[in-house]
Amino acid sequence: MVLALTLGAVAQQPADSSPGNSDAAPQAPSNATDTPSDDGVETMLPHFKNTRFWLSGQANFIFQTHPPFHAAYSGGNSLRPNYEKATSRVLTLYTGVRLNSSTELLVDIEEAGGAALSTGLGLAGDTNLDIVRNPSLSKAPYLGRGMIHKVFALSKDKVENQRSFLSLFDELPRRRLEIRIGKFSMPDFFDINSAGSDTHFQFANWTIDNNGAFDYAADTRGYTVGVVADFEDRNWGFRFAEALMPKVANGIDLVWKPWQVHAENFEYELRHGVIPKKPGVIRLLTYTNYANMGIYRQAIANFEDGLTPVPEITNHPRHITRKFGFGVNLEQNLTHYLTAFGRFGWDSGKTESFAYTEVDQTFAGGLGANGAWWRRKQDRAGIAFVTNAICKDHQTYLADGGLGFLLGDGHLNYGRENIFESYYTVHAGRGIYLAPGLQHIENPGYNRDRGPVVVPSFRAHVEF
């Protein structure tokens, strides 16, 4: 799974400046002179503000390793217990053009490669969101995002917008409807969190950067095709997405029959803190997926009846089943430089984990700090903890020797997968950011008979 999401200047800023909270609004004057913009993230090359074009790029490298750890046994999809090391890379070129005062075209070209610890297997909360889960995929550059963005003004007053690869407008109507059609990643617009959503500057774990129980529509690289509608008002917003699902679990090919296989996503956002007089954001998410997904209980029954040597979640005739879930996403400014965040997620869990990861319930919480606190305004630091779980049928399936698309130790002594992560991102030079980090995983793959695992990491990130 590759997710190259840059929150840019909003990362680690107070919660009222998060992407979903940007009171933004349309075009600069057509005769404006190009001037460098004052971005919160320093880049090697200046980005120009008063122009209808966008061109930028990034390179993200994450090195991770783990020493040997205890494992009573291992299976086909286990995290390998011997010493490992791996380095991933994601390179992205962001381009865009504003076609008129309310319409723009956004196109990103991406290249992802390198390696993953145990080829990305053995953990529900994998340690690196940048990894390519399928090592057989071509290493050639590919279209990451390609979408038309249209803004419908619903009020005359306008507010400033911080330009980024997802929106080139200098201003946006305070009340508006935004429509996006094309190829995108669902976490570009849903379940965003200013303190914990960005592998370029913040955490790297799958279930800290995203809600692990949000089995969002995506191919192996983390992208889908669909439409997003986003209504924004002064203090709240509501967004909806209709998107395509993959043919098989974590597959690269999407099903182009939306009347049969599809996903609906809804999110309500209230820009109001839970602490009086301090900014914050509350986001409520729900989703439903329809795809050719197996049913854990049926796979277990086939095994118990002797029809299969082990439970096989993919051994079934084609049928469209439904999966649904919901999530809560909170962020709260504690001080001007310190933001707390938390997530809760749950899904129905009876059908196979299909697009994101093998999590049916998750609780996560953490703190993000802006380096301006200690006079290093481009630095960031954070700590977070997440605990993940799966439903009873999913547990039995793995205990009987079944394989998911990520998990399968051949047996299972079930326990919640608990993960701690910390990082410090230091601004080393113009557009260059370096970040040591550490993750500690208890019960990897929900298995008490394996681990704990310690994963130190080092990230090098360049913004162009």
- Residue-wise DSSP of 176-204: EEEEEEEEE-GGGTSS--TTSS-TTTS--
Determine if residue 165 is left, alpha or beta; phi over 0 gives left, psi from -120 to 50 gives alpha, anything else beta. Answer: alpha
Residue with tokens 């809560």: 328
What are the phi and psi torsion angles at 376 (to 5°)? -130, 75
Q: Which helix (H) or strand (E) holds 393?
A: helix 392-399
Position 136 scores a pLDDT of 73
Neighbours of 240 (CB within 10 A): 15
d(CA 437, CA 380): 12
Peptide bond into 452 cis (omega under 30): yes
How many helical (H) and strand (E) elements, i.e. helices and strands, does the chain have? 3, 18
Q: Which two tokens stand for residue 166?
A: 């997802």
Helices 296-304 and 392-399 cross at an angle (nearest 10°) of: 40
Position 3 scores a pLDDT of 55
Position 1 scores a pLDDT of 61
Q: Concatenated DSSP letters for 285-311?
A: EEEEEEES--BHHHHHHHHHTTSSSS-
Residue with tokens 């983390």: 222
**Can you give the residue ranges of every domain in the chain?**
8-463
Residue with tokens 């994963």: 455
Is the domain defined by 8-463 classed in CATH 1.10.760.10?
Answer: no
* Residue at 241: amino acid letter: A
Helix (H, G, I), strand (E, B) or coil at 347: strand
Walk along the chain (464 residues) in steps of 10 and give the mean pLDDT of each run: 45 31 32 39 76 93 97 96 96 95 96 92 96 78 96 94 91 96 96 92 96 96 96 96 95 94 97 92 97 96 95 94 97 95 96 95 97 94 98 97 96 98 95 97 98 97 94
Neighbours of 82 (CB within 10 A): 11
Q: Concatenated DSSP letters for 240-252?
A: EEEE--BSSTT-S
Does the predicted model carry a pTM greater than 0.85? yes
Instruction: Look at residues 444, 411, 453, 406 and name the one whose alpha carbon lies nearest to residue 121.
Output: 406
d(CA 266, CA 335): 30
Give the residues across from 422 on adjacent strands: 383, 438
Position 214 scores a pLDDT of 97
d(CA 226, CA 242): 6
Q: What is the CA radius of gyration of the chain?
A: 22
Q: Where are the alpha helices (DSSP H) in 117-274?
A: 206-209
- Please provide the distance, in angstroms rounded to a whole number, between the alpha carbons at the two ends of the chain: 24
Helix (H, G, I), strand (E, B) or coil at 196: coil
* Residue at 275: amino acid letter: I
Give the residues across from 111 on adjacent strands: 91
Position 139 scores a pLDDT of 79
d(CA 184, CA 181): 9
